[in-house]
Structure 1
Amino acid sequence: MSEFTIKNPLIEQRADPWIYKHTDGYYYFTASVPEYDRIELRRSKTIEGLTNADAKVVWVKHESGLMSANIWAPEIHYIDEKWYIYYAAARTSETNDGLFDHRMFVLENSSANPLEGEFVEKGQIKTKWESFALDATSFEHKGVRYLVWAQKDPEIFGNSNMYISEMENPWTLKGEQVCITTPEYDWEKIGFLVNEGAAVLKRNGRIFITFSASATDFNYCMGILTADENSDLLNPASWHKTPEPVFVTSEETGQYGPGHNSFTVSEDGTQDILVYHARNYKEIEGDPLYDPNRHTRVQPISWNEDGTPHFGVPVPDAKKVNN
């Protein structure tokens, strides 16, 4: 097993980070930018190389109407030999800055390299309700493609729950959407009642979905859902939520509000890598959403004897991350 020797932060001022290692040997990176006005992509043969890789702007928000404000949490996926970017965007009006008016949208690019060619708008992912919706992620299991996302149910008190649905194609849901978690524990309900930012990891006969909870300050943290790989993933009873958070603020290491994670693998493929954002200070002036210093960070995952992932604590800045 190779040593993983990256120093954090990997990329400054990039929140909601997504790193995907493709079959071409490149790592592809995208994330929320502080201005919330565009989607960028960068790629590198190494994770560490993403730090200084050129960032290509592949899409810019609209001037008005749908997709005109608060472009949040893009993810890039490779599905059926095409590239797709899932992202959330809001609309603005004379009386509304679009905050918390998000819907989910999809871009498509048929080029071999997604930094080339054109990303075409495939439109909004339509769900059961026309309500606040964001953080779409997609995965395939046993020949079926699924979408997992966060959304506000108009009939449920709180800000967002998480849902799963089968997909007809990369931008269209098929059948019923099913709720797999709502904020129920105290650590999920600080500031806001939030379950969001799903990321999927398939290992050891199980499917793990991590998610983030509470407000985006130092209370932000990660939880985890687990399902047996042979269970019906569209049955809410298949999903078990661990009662305690699995990744939280560490005063000792100076890392605050770790969350909105994704997963990638080391260059040699032997290690699962946790990708997340966190700040290196606790006190924030104004709305945390407009504080730009959620930096992208990475560290290896270890595994418990029972086959579940162990995330440990967020490592301190500037210290070499070892396995």
Structure 2
Amino acid sequence: MKFARHRRLRQNATMRKIVRENQINIADLIYPLFVVEGKGIRNEILSMPGQYQFSLDKLEVEMQTVNALGIPAVILFGIPEYKDAVGSEAYNDEGILQQAIRMIKEKFPKILVIADTCLCEYTDHGHCGVIEHDCVLNDESLELLVKTAVSQAKAGADIIAPSNMMDGFVVAIRTGLDEAEFEMVPIMSYAVKYASAFYGPFRDAADSAPRTGPKDRKGYQMDSANSREAMREAQSDVEEGADFLIVKPALSYLDITRQVRDRFDLPIVTYNVSGEYSMVKAASQKGWIDEKRIVMEQLVSMKRAGADMIITYFAKDVATWLTEGCEE
């Protein structure tokens, strides 16, 4: 009797490794960091165990670890002391994010610095744009987002990552960067960003929960039930000049990552968001799961779905495990 001997290729760790179709590499990782004003600040984010808000001096110490682990890129989120209705600190050339960009590029020039380009951390109402009569205005918000992107590029950001989901944000920012002679600065677009409950802990980390105006962001971020709409969003960003496409969140939207991968040739990034991180950490602290195995299995599912890069709060852990040879 003949039948397939699939187990021939699973006999031992070395055999499994050489036939493995998808692998996580340190070069795949992008590490998110939260920067605050002040000195000597390293505040642990209670809903995200192991993650912190850093002042610039403490950020430099953190970056030494990131650099030593070989993590190639970080994405920065700034949290200013002063907030107003138009998020003016977002495009202040001396703002906290701009200071962080300059420090990292001076001290760690080989690490790519990705600037999150949004207004929600900087506005007193917590939305990603200008509000009028309880409505987030699209075109008026674009003007401020362009100013923010140009200011971040002036500070030395290697990549601009607009996360606001305003219509036309890619072409507006591309035009603004080009006019300011930053035509070689690429745009990593949050092309497909869902209005997700998985962002909860991030609101604590970035102090960006909506306070006034619309009670949520469903008016501009995507409905979690929709996939065809995601392709329209991504198509628009490709046509407008995006260089990378982000799908956010990751785990509940692996099908979307696969659809984006199958349709577009640009590098695809998936964001392993705060809620996904915190659930694993909480279960691990209870002793209910093997954190290392769970994390690696989740991240490889993102690669299998088609992601080229992964933004993840687990980046330091994963880089450590990979250095130690703990893939299995």
Larger Rg: 2
What TM-score do you get using the length of structure 2 for normalisation? 0.31
Bigger fraction of residues in strand: 1
Q: Greater share of helix residues, 1 or 2?
A: 2
